[in-house]
Amino acid sequence: MKSFVVGDATKTTKEHFYKIAFSKVSFVLLDMDLYEPTKCSISYLLPNLVPNGKIIFDEGLRG
Query: Residues 52-57: what's their mean pLDDT?
Result: 92
Query: Residues 26-44: what's their mean pLDDT?
Result: 86
Whose CA is closest to 27, among 2, 10, 5, 8? 2
Q: What is residue 1's predicted lDDT score, i.e. its pLDDT?
A: 60
Residue bearing the bigger pLDDT, 22 or 44: 44
What integer best gives the mean pLDDT of the chain? 80
Q: Are 37 and 8 in contact (CB under 8 A)?
A: yes
Q: What is residue 2's predicted lDDT score, i.e. its pLDDT?
A: 63
Question: Does the structure show a pLDDT above 60 at 53?
Answer: yes
